[in-house]
Amino acid sequence: MTNEPKILGFLCHWCCYAAADAAGVGRLQYPPHIRTIRVMCTGRIEPAFLLAGFANGADGIFTGG
Amino acid sequence: MSDTIQEKTVGAVMVVGGGIAGIQTAMDLADTGYYVYLVERSTAIGGIMAGLDKTFPTNDCAI
Amino acid sequence: MDEEKCTGCGVCAQYCPVTLPDPHNQNLTTYKAIDILYTQAIPSTFVVQPDYCLFLNKKECKQCTRACQTGAINFDQKPEISEYEVGAVILTTGFKDVNPAKIVSYGYQESANIVTGREFERISSASGPYGGKISRPSDLKKPQKIAFVQCAGSRTRGTGKEYCSSVCCKYAVKDAIVALEHEPDLDITIFFMDMRMHGKGLEDFYERAKKSGIKFVRSRVAEIKRVVDDEDLRIQYITELGALHEETFNLVVLPMGLEPSAGNFSLARAAGIDLTNYGFCRADLFAPLNTSRAGIFAAGGFLGPMALPDSVTQASGAAACAAELLTPTRGTIIVEKQFPEERSVGEEELRVGVFVCNCGKNIAGVVDVTDVTRYAADLGNVVVNVDNLYSCSQDTQDLIKETVIREKLNRVVVAACTPRTHEPLFQETVREAGLNRCLLEMVNIRDQCSWVHANEKEEATLKAKDLVRMAVAKARSIEALSEPIIDVIPKALVIGGGLAGMTAALSLAEQGFACVLLEKSDELGGNLRNLHYTLSGADPRSYLHELIDKVKSHRLITVHTQAAVERVNGFVGNFQTEITRGPEGGKEQEELEHGIIILATGATPFRPDEYLLGQNDRVLLLHEMEKKLATGEFIPGDRDNVVLIQCVGSRDDTHSYCSSICCSMAIKNALTIKELNPRTQVYILYRDMRTYGFHEDYYTRAREQGIIFIRYELENKPLVTAAESNVRVTVRDPVLGEDITLDAVMLGLSTAIIPDRQDNLEAALPVPRSAEGFYLESHVQLKPVDSYVDGIYICGMAHFPKSIDESIAQAKAAAAKASILLARGYVKAEPIVASCAEEQCIGCSLCAAFCPYSAITISKKGKGKKAEIIAAACKGCGVCASYCPSKAISVGRFTDEQIYAQIEAFGLKK
């Protein structure tokens, strides 16, 4: 079995999205299974978004803020 | 106050030093409507603050 | 290096064969002779180090120019001299560390494991040389025992560094706390003389450090020696009792004192300004940001050692100084860019254009850009799909613009780098093509894809395709948004007529803005009225009268005394304030309209129920004693004892914070007494002497003049009893270990300084305060004068106890921030603000309760209540939308529809 989870991420524009950019600038390497959605604040994330993520096949959901 | 200043005023300011103080003063002046020349010796602005890890007392990231 | 052409890709550095010590990491690592100073550097241009570059020194190599795909490297560049005409100059050249090698007994050069505070900053930094793992340089092992040695290069006589560097105690405590956060089992000791944790929030920070197990040892370190057999270090220190001790540590940190930048002397000569004996810029107590030459101002470390909030405050303050001078020229050079009229796309059929960036090899080296571009064509509504070598280059901007117009695109997707840095550029491009800027959507396939999956090309390509698909899905439902513009009433209200309030009002008036200044008492002046002397000798009384005259006679300032705020309505740019003014019995009401508010409500000395205050007339608050000295009511006699007790009702359970200025005030009064009668004996009973910065000189002078300092512990406070013709003070001397009894003709108490609170004002204007009652700034370091509410600024002792020069600088800073809004004349809300569909709103007011920016009001509409969003105050965080039970609120550019479209497109991943 290959370990290729589908992960959906919600990233706060001001912190986590910026950190993810910084990871890139620093060329830190991490597994390529996450697909992200940028929001202006994690306060924007509704529980329903997470449920919709799972309903659309996410194996895990990451929120960063 | 010298007379030269009275005679000819230019709506521009030169800020010498691009550390946190220079950046802040430049931004405030530009936001208020003055043209700013920000002069920095190094190849990047940020000064000492850019090399700090955290800032007291909140321990926010410095960079 | 051609800044316009360099994309910051870094290929040049990969090819450069020369490595050299990396100054950003305090030389603990290396970087290349062509490199970027640090990853987040602005500008993000790579630069050549001419002293190390092989080509510039030996005329060989040039690997970088061959590697660079944009031809950005130009070895023919020469230094140029440019001339600019300006109306004012602000000098902010900062300070630097004292050279640690100069303190020979501390052995910095003998061991790699003796590091400076700034080296330790890099060691603990996640982006530092050890990835944030606390390690010592010699063997990269975890240093179990760490020592911090304070006053390294500060407060040392005969070195030219007699002053206190103000920040080293604080940053040592921070470094220690941060180290413990990384490795909770570390054993950390801080060797210090006085812990100078003055300033907002810092005494609590110190207490937190003590509770977390950091040991504080009051001592003077004599010597640091390398242990011969291993890499450890032995510290010899002398305690207060005079005993010599030794202890071994794995790592020693020297939080170095600060000294003037190397170029200060030549800069001062070029600018024609004076420096102090220490080599910092000379400024006056009452004009703390002015240099000795008109039109040249200073801020930050050029003026002396200081912490970030002070530096940022002074920077804004200096901006106000320059702006006051240049008021007639405001806005004469800056021109706003004009854009073509926006095309209305509401009725059009969707036409999406997808532009995929190669970023040279940055993206294309990992992601198959051709494949991604081809893939985009199959996504619904995509009518254009092209790839570009560099999307940010001018020719690509032109191409995007032409394509939008030619192909009648109404949605543009750019798959490139991060919107955090490049969205404004592409937004401008689509605006130039006649589209609303919100019709652009960016996909980050570089920073968050190719760069982080460099070895997984297929997976990275797959990810890029998924991200483009999700972005196109969102793009289908993005729409043009307007940016609400709210006019700002170009008038200010300043509450509080003390030094800070008067200074702020005067600065705004000098910048051409009408100002109402409210004072609750019957005269202007506040605490400045209580000052009769200053340490520097400047006369506070004449300055006070001069300032009051200027304020009262300024044609743009209206002063109301005996005034109170009854009600404040409105929001940033549009406040309506109801006030009452005039004497009791003859109160008048008035409604004021203004765009901003400056809170300068001040603070006042605490009157404790302790040490016989109020019971014995020989016991006075310090400023009361100062007055008696000034008026001659108290004439200190020969052999009389005068005792001053510090930290009364301060740094204890009554008020946990340190009031910052009392140590210096006590020394000022002690020196005044000595001046009036050298034969009077003055005792200062203290816990830590916190004469920070250049005030240290006066502490030294006080000791030279025979003023006796006795330290007491909080657990062993002095005992005060009434004696026949004087007061008897008993205190335990920690050096002698026994009680000393002093019969004093006068006892002065340095009490905590507590915020002045007025119930009516607090009810009318609920601006967040700290637990101690001081107004909270919205960001401690970066927004030290902005309150949590847009358009309301804070300064003076209402923010925290501070000295005259600090108050003036902060008042000017508040005026600078306020004048940004007043000068612009409008507030433009970003298109990300929330909006509320009234017909769906059920008036539950959940949104208003959760809004962190007080940007939502609930008002009666018809039969029910409705939420209304104040666009000018909204920051677009979207908390309101996610809590809204009836889905009435939507957030610009991040609507439910758009986010669900992205989630569904995510689900189509194979």
Chain B CB contacts of C820 under 8 Å are 28, 31-32
Instruction: Determine which of C434-448, C604-618, C767-781 has the lowest per-residue pLDDT on average.
Output: C767-781
C370/chain A closest Cα distance in angstroms: 20
Among C82, C90, C91, C261, the strongest candidate for a mutation testing the B interface, having the largest count of B CBs within 10 A, is C90
Interface membership of C817 toward B (CB under 8 Å): yes
Q: Do C42 and B44 touch (CB under 8 A)?
A: yes
Which parts of chain A sit beneath pLDDT 70? Answer: 1-3
pLDDT value for B2: 44
Which amino acid is present at B12? A
Q: Is A2 on the interface with C (CB under 8 A)?
A: no
- Could you tell me the pLDDT band of residue B3, with boundaries at 50, 70 and 90? very low
For residue C861, the model assigns a pLDDT of: 87
Across the range C664-689, mean pLDDT stands at 97
Report yes or no: A46 at the C interface, CB cutoff 8 Å.
yes
How far apart (Å, rounded) are the C-alpha atoms in residues C439 and C892?
12
Domain with CATH 3.30.70.20 in chain C: 834-907
CA of A3 to nearest chain C CA: how many angstroms apart?
A: 13
* Nearest chain B residue (CA) to C263: B41
Which subunits have 3 or more CB–CB pairs within 8 Å of chain C?
A: A, B
Tell which of C92, C256, C824 to mutate to test the B interface (max B CBs under 10 Å). Answer: C92
- B2 occurs within a structural domain: no
What are B12-46's pLDDT values in tens digits? 999 999 999 999 999 999 999 999 999 999 989 99
Q: Which of A35-39, C7-11, C84-88, C602-606 has the lowest mean pLDDT?
A: C7-11
Number of domains in chain B: 1
* pLDDT the model gives residue C895: 95
pLDDT above 90: residue C653? yes
**Average pLDDT score over residue span C244-270:** 96
Compare all CA atoms of chain C with the CA of B10 and give the residue at the minimum distance: C87
Average pLDDT value for chain B? 86
Dump the DSSP string for C80-133.
-------SEEEE---EEE--GGG-GGG-TTT-TTEEEHHHHHHHH-TTSTTTT-
Q: What is the DSSP string of C128-190?
A: STTTT----TTT----SEEEEE-SBTSSBTTTTB-S--SSHHHHHHHHHHHHHHH-TT-EEEE
Q: Which residue among C419, C462, C903 places its CB closest to the CB of A8? A: C903
Domain extent at residue B50: 10-61
Residues 191-220 in C contacting B (C-alpha not used; CB under 8 Å)? 201-202, 204-205
What residue in C sits closest to B11 (Cα-Cα)?
A: C329
Report pLDDT for C910.
Answer: 61
Which chains pack against A, by 3+ Cβ pairs within 8 A? C
Structure-block tokens of residue C782: 């970066």
Distance from CA of C454 to the nearest CA of B (A): 25
List CB contacts of C546: < 8 A, sequence separation 6 or more. Answer: none
B56 within domain boundaries: yes
pLDDT higher than threshold 90 for residue C61 = yes
pLDDT digits (tens, 9 = 90+) for C366-392: 999 999 999 999 999 999 999 998 888
The answer to whether residue C289 neighbours chain B at the CB level (below 8 Å) is no
Contacts of C281-286 with C-beta under 8 Å, sequence gap 24+, read C281/C91, C283/C805, C284/C538, C285/C534, C285/C536, C285/C538, C285/C804, C285/C805, C286/C538, C286/C543, C286/C804, C286/C805, C286/C808
A24 touches chain C (CB under 8 A): yes
Are residues C578 and C567 in contact, defined by beta-carbon separation less than 8 angstroms? Answer: yes
Kindly state whether A37 is in contact with chain C, defined as any CB-CB distance less than 8 angstroms: yes
* Domain-located, residue B1: no
Measure C822 CA to nearest chain B CA, in Å. 9
Please state the three-class secondary structure of C723-785 as a single string.
CCCCEEEEEEECCCCEEEEEEECEEEEEECEEECCCHHHHHHCCCCECCCCCECCCECCCECC
Residue in C448, C470, C832 closest to A20 by CB: C448
* Chain C residue at shortest CA distance from B59: C174
Q: Which CATH class is domain C492-556+578-602+756-823?
A: alpha beta
CATH class of C834-907: alpha beta
pTM for the predicted model, two decimal places: 0.88
Short-list C593, C563, C595, C594, CA closest to C579:
C563
**With 70 as the cut, is the pLDDT of residue C336 above it?**
yes
Q: Which pLDDT score is estimated for C40?
A: 74
Say if domain C606-753 classifies as CATH 3.30.70.20.
no
Residue C528: is its pLDDT beyond 80? yes
User: Residue B31 domain-assigned?
Assistant: yes
Interface contact B55-C781, CB threshold 8 A: yes
Opening angle at CA B12, ends B7 and B14, nearest 5: 110
Q: Hey, how many other C-beta atoms are within 10 angstroms of the C-beta on C347?
A: 5
How many Cα atoms within 13 Å fall on the side-chain side of residue C791? 35
Q: Is the pLDDT of residue B1 over 60?
A: no
Tokens of C888: 């009435």
Q: What was the pLDDT predicted at C831?
A: 87
Nearest-angstrom CA–CA distance, C826 and C183: 50
How far is Cα C275 from Cα C264, in angstroms, rounded to an integer?
8
- Residue whose token pair is 């409507």: B33
- pLDDT interval class at C332 (50, 70, 90): very high
Confidence band, pLDDT 50/70/90 cuts, at residue C603? very high
Of the candidates C446, C470, C882, the beta carbon closest to that of A43 is on C882
Topology (CATH) of C95-260: FAD/NAD(P)-binding domain (3.50.50)
On whether any CB of chain C is under 8 Å from the CB of A58, the answer is yes
Q: Is the minimum CB–CB distance between A21 and chain C shorter than 8 Å? A: yes
For chain C, give every residue range classified as CATH 3.50.50.60: 95-260, 492-556+578-602+756-823, 606-753
At C91-148, the pLDDT tens digits run: 999 999 999 999 999 999 999 999 999 999 999 988 789 988 999 999 999 999 999 9
Taking the CA of residue B20 and the nearest CA in chain C, the distance in Å comes to 7
- Mean pLDDT estimate for chain C: 94
Q: Would the CB atoms of B11 and C325 count as touching at under 8 Å?
A: no
Tell me if C247 sits within 8 A of C262, measured CB to CB. Answer: no
CATH of domain C352-477: 3.40.50
Asked if A34 and C885 touch (Cβ cutoff 8 Å), the reply is no
**Whole-number Å distance between alpha carbons of C7 and C9:** 5
CA distances from C150 to C113, C144, C167 (A): 16, 20, 11
Query: Distance between CA C908 and CA C125 in Å, rounded?
Result: 40
Say if the Cβ atoms of C315 and B21 lie within 8 Å: yes
Residue C800: per-residue pLDDT: 98
Contact check, Cβ <8 Å, A28/C452: yes
Q: What is the token pair recorded at C56?
A: 């510039």
Residue C243 confidence (pLDDT): 93
